[in-house]
Amino acid sequence: MNEYDSDYLAQSLINYGLSAVDNPNNADIILINTCTVRAKPQQKALSMLGRISAIKKRRPELIFCIAGCLAQEMGVRLFERFPDLDLIMGPRDIGKFYEILDSLITGRKKVIITDTGSAPPDPVRCSGFFNGRISGNISIMVGCDNFCSYCIVPYVRGREISRFPDAILSEARNMISAGIKEITLLGQNVNSYFWNKETNFPSLLHKMGTLDGLYRVRFTTSHPKDMSDELIKCFGEKESILCPHIHLPFQAGSNRVLEKMRRGYTREKYMDLVYRLREVEPDIAITSDVMVGFPGESSSDFELTLDLIKKVQFDSLFSFKYSDRDGTLASKMDNKVDESEKVLRLGILQDLQKQITLGKNRSLEGKKMSVLVEGISRKGGYPNFSGRTASNKVVNFSCDSNMIGHLVNVEIKEGMNNSLKGEIIL
């Protein structure tokens, strides 16, 4: 979601007539978009702000801005720590950035704008910014109303609002005309997308399927408590451009912990969803988010998390150590788990998942898969190109640069920890 917001902000700068430089020391304006969902991204953002502040001390004419959830959370307190900031802007206000730029550039006034009630932004014209990219994101809703007990998102991103379907579709068309072939629809809980009786999330997916030139559609994140039969069925539809991959965060395997997290489902309900998804689409890749060390998580609760991971066999997992976020219910709970215990649990969990991911990747050896060629492989060297399967696995292989943006058939030769190696079948 922050990547989408960053693209939107970058596009606003371009629309204003500015262009990108490759070194912050040469920039006239620097905007840092931030996240505060856990302690770690918050620390990273603060140290980055410290580095930019040092540049601003050398070059006072630099316009120095912070956007995103940390800006929302800390608000005016950021001026105390970084008095040379020119703009503090919350994540709900990105639609106003273009207008604010005027007063920043011409008026040189300091601006603070942190309104969590702002309407979702209008689609921007994607003139150029997406050039060269194959995959893009569209936020279909903003905010969140779930108030999971550990989570700061509802406080910093405000109440949930779904965007007008025509705005989403016109944004998608703009992206497709700029060369995008794969779109990921974003929301904190896409399952609760609702515009009117005719347009809920599954019908929005069907509308995306009618767009000419779009090869693939994905979405993230879906919440297990709101997963409908109608959405599960979408994965079983033949000829659909919906990719067989779902990111379905489970957070914890113990019902006692899930209840304290206020997640609204049990481990049994979660595993039943996995069963039903695999029933309609046996090859569906399932990925998830999980946390260790939630307040009061005992070693037997943690064992239940490991047990769920073994039973479900996720394709991959994002795993985190719980961290207190100010203002949340969990931050006030007793029986906090020691940092050293959290580190230990995270290590055990990640070792387990590493084996499962490797096993899953190896089981694809010899299979022929359709891959969307995205560009030059990140690692450089040979094989020189990389793309992703419909199930969202990264594949490296050799091909010509004129294949970028095309779907090709690749035979998987080797499954590794984080990616696959393959050979193109002509």
Specify whether the CB–CB gap between 385 and 376 falls below 8 A.
Answer: yes
What does the alpha-carbon distance between residue 222 and residue 216 come to, in Å, rounded to a whole number? 18
Residue type at 216 in one-letter notation: R
Least Å distance, CB 220 to ligand SF4, is: 11
Least Å distance, CB 168 to ligand SAH, is: 19
What does the alpha-carbon distance between residue 277 and residue 288 come to, in Å, rounded to a whole number? 14
Residue 154, interface with ligand SF4 (CB under 6 A)? yes
List the x/- string, 134-153, binding to ligand SF4 by CB under 6 A: ----------x-xxx--x-x
Least Å distance, CB 141 to ligand SF4, is: 11
Contacts of 73 (CB under 8 A, 6+ apart): 36, 152, 155, 156, 326
Q: Select the binding partner of residue 314 from ligand SF4, ligand SAH, none (C-beta < 5 to 8 A, by kind).
A: none
Least Å distance, CB 73 to ligand SF4, is: 14
Question: Out of 291, 309, 369, 390, which residue is the one contacting ligand SAH (CB under 6 A)?
Answer: 291
Burial of 141 (0-12, 13-18, 19+ CB in 10 A): buried
Q: Select the binding partner of residue 289 from ligand SAH, ligand SF4, none (C-beta < 5 to 8 A, by kind).
A: ligand SAH
Site for ligand SF4 in 166-195 (CB under 6 A): 188-189
What does the alpha-carbon distance between residue 214 and residue 208 come to, in Å, rounded to a whole number? 8
How many helical (H) and strand (E) elements, i.e. helices and strands, does the chain have?
A: 13, 19
- What is the per-residue DSSP string for 41-71? HHHHHHHHHHHHHHHHHH-TTSEEEEEEHHH
Q: Select the binding partner of residue 147 from ligand SF4, ligand SAH, none (C-beta < 5 to 8 A, by kind).
A: ligand SF4
Q: Select the binding partner of residue 322 from ligand SAH, ligand SF4, none (C-beta < 5 to 8 A, by kind).
A: ligand SAH
What does the alpha-carbon distance between residue 39 and residue 155 come to, in Å, rounded to a whole number? 16
Specify whether the CB–CB gap between 371 and 388 falls below 8 A.
Answer: yes
Q: Select the binding partner of residue 255 from ligand SF4, ligand SAH, none (C-beta < 5 to 8 A, by kind).
A: none
Least Å distance, CB 262 to ligand SF4, is: 8
Site for ligand SAH in 86-145 (CB under 6 A): none
The smaller minimum CB distance to ligand SAH, of residues 211 and 333, is found at: 333
Q: Sheet with 285-292: list strands edge to edge.
A: 245-247, 285-292, 316-321
Q: Report which of 419, 353, 405, 418 is spatially closest to residue 130, judged by C-alpha positions.
A: 405
What does the alpha-carbon distance between residue 1 and residue 139 come to, in Å, rounded to a whole number? 7
Residue type at 108 in one-letter notation: R
Contacts of 385 (CB under 8 A, 6+ apart): 373, 375, 376, 377, 396, 397, 398, 399, 401, 403, 404
The smaller minimum CB distance to ligand SAH, of residues 188 and 361, is found at: 188
Residue 37, interface with ligand SAH (CB under 6 A)? yes
Determine the 3-state secondary structure of 203 from DSSP: helix
Question: Out of 249, 253, 295, 387, which residue is the one contacting ligand SAH (CB under 6 A)?
Answer: 249
User: Any idea which residue has 């994540």 for tokens?
Assistant: 91
The smaller minimum CB distance to ligand SAH, of residues 225 and 256, is found at: 225
The smaller minimum CB distance to ligand SAH, of residues 135 and 188, is found at: 188
List the x/- string, 303-342, binding to ligand SAH by CB under 6 A: -----------------x-xx-x-----------------
Considering only the stretches 72-80, 123-131, 147-155, 305-313, report the one whose residues sit in contact with ligand SAH under the rule CB under 6 A: 147-155
In 154-237, where do the E strands start and end? 161-162, 182-186, 194-196, 199-200, 216-220
Least Å distance, CB 143 to ligand SF4, is: 9
- The site for ligand SF4 (CB under 6 A) is made up of 144, 146-148, 151, 153-154, 188-189, 223
Give the binding site for ligand SAH (CB under 6 A).
37-38, 150-151, 153, 188-189, 221, 223, 249, 251, 289, 291, 320, 322-323, 325
